[in-house]
Structure 1
Amino acid sequence: MTALDDTTALAPPPLRRNRDFLLLWSGNWLQFFGSRMSNACYPLLALQISGGSAQAVGLASAAAVLPQAVVQVPAGVLVDRWDRLAVMRWCASGRVLVLGAVGATLALGVLGMELLLGLIAVEVSLAIIASLAERAAVRTVVPGEQLPAALSQNEARGRIAGLLGGPAGTVLYTWTRWSPFLAATLGAMIAAVNLRSIRSDLSTQTPRQRRPIHRDLADALHWLRGQRALRAMLAVVTAATALLQVVLQGLVVILVKEQSLPEATLGLVLGISGCGGLLGALTARWFMARLPLSVLLIGGLGVWAALMNAMAWATGPIQLGILFALMNIIGAVFGVATGVYQVAITPQHLQGRGAALSGLVVSLGATGGAFAAGKLLETYHGLLSLLVASGLMAVIAAVAALIPAVRKARIPDATARFGGSPHP
C-alpha cells in the first residue's frame, strides 16, 4: 500500500456518510421544525386568549426567552457531565408531553394565559438543554476539519425549519388551533426514536471525576474572563438581540392587530423571511472566507438599523417579508460565524459551559427586550416603535466600531485548531 493509499484510508468519511451525524442532524431537525411551528403560533394564541392585547404577546415572547436566562448556566454545567445522548433523548420525550398538553388543553377549551406561559417556559427549557447537548456532541461525532461544515449545516437546518415551520404552523393554526401543536408533538416523538439509533459514546466524565457544580462553573467563568474579544462581542450582540424583539413582536401587532390582516399573513411573511435566512446560512462560509468577523458584525448591525427603519414605512406583508428576509441573511451569517468562533476558541471540556454562559448573556438581552417591546408596541404602536429601535441599533453599531477588541476580532483557523482527535 502506498503513502497515498494510507492517507486515503485514514481520511474521515464526508458528512453525508457520517451515520451518527446524520441521525443527530435529522433527529434535531424534526424538533427544530416543531419548535418553529409552535413558536410562530404562541404569539397568535396569546393574542386570541387575551382578547387582542399586545402586552400579552410580549408576555408570551418573554416566556419563550426567560428560560434562557434561568436554565442556560445549570444546563451547560450538567451537559458537560451527563451523557449528552441521554440528555437529548429525555428532552425529546419531555417535549412530547408538553406540546401534547398545549394541544389537548386548547382543544378542550381550558387553556388560559397562566397555563400557556408555563407550558411555553417548560418547552423552551427542554429545547435549550437539548441544543446545548447537541452542540457539544457535534464535536464528538464530527472530525475537527469538518467542524465548520457541520456547524454551517446545522445553521442551515434551523433556517430550513424556520422557512417551513413558521408558515406551516400559522396555516395549521388558522385551520384548527390545536393542530400545529399536535404536529410538533409527532415530530418530537419521531426525534426521540431517531436519537436512540445513534451509536457514538457521548458521555463526558466518569462519576469520580465530577466536582461540585460551583467549581465547574468557576472554571468556565475564569476562562470567559480571559476572552476579551468574546466578552466585547457578547455585549454588542446582547443589545442588538434586545432590539430585535421589537421587530419580531411588531410583525404580529402590525399585521394582525393594526392592519387587521388574516393570521395566515404572518405565515407568508415568515416564509419570505425564512428564504433569506436559508440563503444566509448557505452562503455564510463564503462571507467568512472573504470578510473578517469584525466587518461582518459591525457592518451587519449598521445594515440592520437601515432595514428596521425601512420596515417602519413598509406598506404590505410582501415588503415586510423581503426586508425581514434581508435581516435574516445577515443574522444567519452571524449565527455561523459566531458559532465557529465560539467552538474554535473553547476547550472541548468547556463546550457546554462556554456556550451556556454566552447564551445566558444574550438571553438576558432577549428577555428584557421582550418585556420592553410589548410595552413599547402597546404605547407607541408599530411604526414609531420600529423607528425607535432602528435609531438605537445604529447607536449600537457605532459603539461596536469604537471597541478595539471588536474591530480586531478574527475567526481562528478551525482546520488547524481542530486537526486532531475530537476528544480532549
Structure 2
Amino acid sequence: MTVLDEKTVAAVPLRRNRDFLLLWTGNWLQFFGSRMSGVCYPLLALQVSGGSARAVGFASAAAVLPYAVVQLPAGVLVDRWDRRRVMQVCAVGRTAVLAAVAAMVLLDVLGIGALLALIAADVSLAIVSSLAERAAVRTVVPDRQLPSALAQNEARGRIAGLLGGPAGTVLFTWSRWSPYLAAAFGAVVAAVNVRLIRADCRPAAAEGRRRIREDLSEGLAWVRTQPVLRSALPLVALATGLLQVVSLALVVVLVKEEGHAESTVGLLLGISGCGGVLGALSARWWMARLPMPALLVGGFTLWAVLMGGMSAASGPVALGLLFGAMNLIGAVFGVATAVYQMTTTPDRLQGRVAALAGLVTAAGATVGAFGGGWLLETFDGARSLRFTAVAMAVVALSTGLVPSVRRARIPTAEPTADTPADPSADAPDPESRGGAPA
C-alpha cells in the first residue's frame, strides 16, 4: 500500500486529488442510494404488512435503533482496523443486503420480519462506513484542505437527500424492487472506488490488545478533557432536538391546520433542501470570515429568530424559505464543528469521538421527536414554534456564556500525543480547574 507524501498531496487541488475524488464520488452514489431506499422502507413495510400502520412504525424503529446500538462499537472498530478495508467490506455488505431486498420483493417472498432485519443491517453497515469515511478523509487530504473537503462532503449529503427521496418514490411507484437495485448499484461503485484508493488509511497501532469497553472508556475520557467538546456536544444535541420539533410542527401546520395537500410538504422540503446545499457550498467562505464562537452562537441565535418568524408565517413557500435559511445556517456551523472535532482529535481516536458525537446528536433528535409529538398534541403549531424559539434562544445564550466555547478556534496544525489538542486547554478555564478526568 502506498503512503502519499504530504507535500505532494498539499500541492494538488481537491478536484485533482485522485483518492479524494474516488472517495467522494463512490460514497455520493452510496448516499444517494441510501436516500432512495430509506424513503421507500416505510412504504414497503406498509405493502408487505397489508396496510398495517404498526408495521410502518416497526420499520422506522429498525432504521433508528442502530444509531443507539451500533455507533459506539463501530467507532472502536474504525479506530482498530484499516478504514479503507472497513468501507469496502461495508459497501459489499450493503450490496448484498439491498440486492436481497430487491430479489425478495421481485419474487414476492419478503415478510415483515425479514424486512426489519434487512433494514437494521443496511443502516448498521451505513453507520460503520460513514464513521470510517469521516476518519479516512484526514488521510487523503492535507489538513489545510480539510474545511473544503468536509464542506464538499456536507454538500454531497444534502444534494443526495434533496434528490434521492423524490427519485426513490418515483422508482417505487414504477416498480417496488427498483429503488433497492439502484441503491445496490451505488454500493458496488463505492466498493470499487474505495478499493482503488492508494492512501494508507490504517490508524496508528494500539499498544496491546484491549477490550472494546476499555477503548470506549478511553474515547470518553479524552472528550471529557476537552472543554469545548464537553460543553458544545450537549448544546448541539439540544439544538438538534429543537430542530426536530420544528420539522414536525411544519408538517402539522401545513397539512392539519392550514389544510394544504400533503404534496406541499414536498415543496417545503425541496425549498429548505436548497438552503442546506447552499450553506454547505458556502461554509468555507463563512469559516474564513467568522470565528468558531460566532458561527455557533450566531447560528443558534438566528435559528431562534427564524423559528419565531415561522410562528407568524403561513404557506409552504414562506415556511420553506424560513426553514431553508435554518438549513443554510445549520450546514455552515455543521461543517465548522466537524472540522474542529477532526482537527483536535488524535487520529487513533477519530472513530470513537465521531461515534460519541453522533450518538449524542441522535439522542437529541430522538428526544425532540417524542417531545415534539407531545407538544403538538397539547398546543397548536404556532404556539409550539414560539415555545421552540424561546428554548433555542436559551440554548444560544447558554452557548455564549461558556468560556471555553468563546475561546474556541479551529487549529491549523495536526494535534500530537505530546501537545494539547484543544486550543482552549492552554488558557485557564474556571470550569476545568482541579483537573479533568483522565
Match of 1:86 in 2: 85
Q: Does 1:325 align with 2:324?
A: yes
Distance 2:337 2:405 in 1: 12
Match of 2:432 in 1: none
The code of the aligned residue for 2:188 comes to M
Distance 1:192 1:147 in 2: 23
Unaligned runs of 5+ in 2: 1-5, 417-438
Match of 1:245 in 2: 244
Change (3 A) 1:208 1:237: closer
Change (3 A) 1:43 1:410: farther
The code of the aligned residue for 1:134 comes to E
User: What are the superposed Cα offsets for residues 154-177 of structure 1, whole Å, 9 maximum, x if unpaired?
Assistant: 122212222322332344445555
Distance 2:43 2:325 in 1: 24
Q: Does 1:163 align with 2:162?
A: yes
Larger deviation: 148-157 or 369-378? 369-378
Distance 1:252 1:46 in 2: 22
Change (3 A) 1:109 1:264: farther
Distance 2:76 2:150 in 1: 22
Distance 2:106 2:387 in 1: 39
The code of the aligned residue for 1:229 comes to V
Distance 1:109 1:250 in 2: 37
Larger deviation: 22-31 or 95-104? 95-104
Change (3 A) 1:293 1:188: same
Distance 2:33 2:171 in 1: 12
User: What are the superposed Cα offsets for residues 117-149 of structure 1, whole Å, 9 maximum, x if unpaired?
Assistant: 554433222211111101111111222232222
Match of 1:216 in 2: 215
Change (3 A) 1:247 1:50: farther
Q: Is the 8 A contact 1:20 1:141 kept in 2?
A: yes
1:80 aligned counterpart, secondary structure: helix
Distance 1:295 1:348 in 2: 27
The structure showing larger relative contact order (alpha-carbon pairs under 8 Å, at least 6 residues apart) is 1
1:200 aligned counterpart, secondary structure: coil
Distance 2:339 2:381 in 1: 35
Q: Does 1:347 align with 2:330?
A: no
Q: Is the 8 A contact 2:15 2:21 kept in 1?
A: yes
Change (3 A) 1:86 1:309: same
The code of the aligned residue for 2:134 comes to R
Change (3 A) 1:203 1:172: same
User: C-alpha displacement at 1:262, in angstroms?
Assistant: 5.5
TM-score, structure 2 normalization? 0.81
Q: Is the 8 A contact 1:247 1:308 kept in 2?
A: yes
The code of the aligned residue for 1:233 comes to A
Q: Is the 8 A contact 2:22 2:193 kept in 1?
A: yes
Mapping of residues 17-32 of structure 1, within 5 Å: 17-32=16-31
The code of the aligned residue for 2:21 comes to L
2:210 aligned counterpart, secondary structure: coil
User: What are the superposed Cα offsets for residues 379-411 of structure 1, whole Å, 9 maximum, x if unpaired?
Assistant: 656444434333322222222223222233222
Match of 2:420 in 1: none
Distance 1:380 1:57 in 2: 26
User: C-alpha displacement at 1:345, in angstroms?
Assistant: 0.7
Match of 2:67 in 1: 68
Q: Is the 8 A contact 1:62 1:367 kept in 2?
A: no
The code of the aligned residue for 2:310 comes to M
Change (3 A) 1:34 1:249: farther
Change (3 A) 1:389 1:95: farther
User: C-alpha displacement at 1:367, in angstroms?
Assistant: 2.4
The code of the aligned residue for 1:14 comes to P
Change (3 A) 1:301 1:57: farther
Q: Is the 8 A contact 1:65 1:366 kept in 2?
A: no
Change (3 A) 1:228 1:319: same
Match of 1:338 in 2: 337
User: C-alpha displacement at 1:52, in angstroms?
Assistant: 9.4
1:295 aligned counterpart, secondary structure: helix
User: C-alpha displacement at 1:294, in angstroms?
Assistant: 1.5
Match of 1:398 in 2: 397
Q: Is the 8 A contact 1:85 1:202 kept in 2?
A: yes
Distance 1:182 1:257 in 2: 35
Q: Is the 8 A contact 1:169 1:267 kept in 2?
A: no
Match of 1:96 in 2: 95
Mapping of residues 336-375 of structure 1, within 5 Å: 336-375=335-374
1:315 aligned counterpart, secondary structure: coil
Match of 1:141 in 2: 140
User: What are the superposed Cα offsets for residues 183-214 of structure 1, whole Å, 9 maximum, x if unpaired?
Assistant: 32322232223222223332335697443323
Match of 1:407 in 2: 406
Distance 2:247 2:75 in 1: 27
Match of 1:151 in 2: 150
The code of the aligned residue for 1:76 comes to G
The code of the aligned residue for 1:408 comes to R
Distance 2:243 2:100 in 1: 30
Q: CA RMSD for the aligned pairs?
A: 3.4
Distance 1:381 1:97 in 2: 45
Q: Is the 8 A contact 2:36 2:165 kept in 1?
A: yes
The code of the aligned residue for 2:359 comes to L
Distance 1:380 1:175 in 2: 40
- Corresponding residue pairs, total: 410
User: What are the superposed Cα offsets for residues 221-266 of structure 1, whole Å, 9 maximum, x if unpaired?
Assistant: 2211110111111010011111222233445555566667565544
Q: Is the 8 A contact 1:64 1:120 kept in 2?
A: yes
Match of 1:187 in 2: 186
User: C-alpha displacement at 1:26, in angstroms?
Assistant: 0.7
Distance 1:246 1:106 in 2: 34
